């Protein structure tokens, strides 16, 4: 069972931001920005590759609520979901990183250079 499913089941603690019947948001244990929160579905979904449009509709509404609660809607934030090995996904349970609280950088994303033809 993934770490995040254990958090959903109450077997591991988390620093909760918001919760409803279907989704949970909590602070990342190793923050990469002044505010770094993870939003997850409570049911087991391994990554964005497996999520349905219907669940994403609920997830979108939930993330909007989290962003409002964190007061990130005015100055902005970054929303990231890592998928698979190249995406750098470490926890195999769908999660959206919500990052903000200061101006974020946008460089050094890949180990190799962008392809010139794109």
Catalytic residues: 95
Nearer to ligand AMP, 40 or 72 (CB): 40
Other C-beta atoms closer than 10 Å to the C-beta of 11 total 10
**Distance of alpha carbon 23 from alpha carbon 20, whole angstroms:** 5
Provide the minimum distance between the beta carbon of 66 and ligand AMP in the complex, in angstroms, as a whole number. 15
**Distance of alpha carbon 108 from alpha carbon 95, whole angstroms:** 22
Find the part of the chain contacting ligand AMP (CB under 6 A) among 63-71, 88-96, 99-107, 108-116: 88-96
Per-residue binder mask for ligand AMP (CB under 6 A), 1-40, x = binder: --x--------x-x-------------xxx-------x--
Applying the rule CB under 6 A, the residues between 36 and 65 that interact with ligand AMP are 38
**Distance of alpha carbon 16 from alpha carbon 7, whole angstroms:** 10
Classified as helix, coil or strand, 5 is helix
Cα 44 to chain centroid distance, Å, stands at: 15
Which residues contact ligand AMP (rule: CB under 6 A)? 3, 12, 14, 28-30, 38, 82, 88-91
């Amino acid at each position: 069972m993934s770490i995040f499913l254990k958090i959903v089941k109450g077997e591991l603690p988390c620093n909760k931001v918001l919760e409803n019947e279907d989704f949970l948001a909590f602070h990342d244990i190793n923050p990469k920005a002044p505010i770094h929160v993870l939003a997850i579905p409570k049911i087991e979904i391994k990554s964005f590759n497996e999520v349905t449009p219907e669940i994403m509709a609920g997830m979108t509404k939930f993330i909007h609520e989290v962003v409002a609660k964190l007061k990130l809607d005015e100055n902005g934030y970054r929303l990231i979901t890592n998928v698979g090995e190249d995406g750098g996904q470490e926890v195999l349970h769908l999660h959206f990183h919500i990052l903000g609280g200061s101006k974020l950088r946008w460089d050094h994303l890949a180990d190799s250079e962008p392809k010139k033809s794109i």
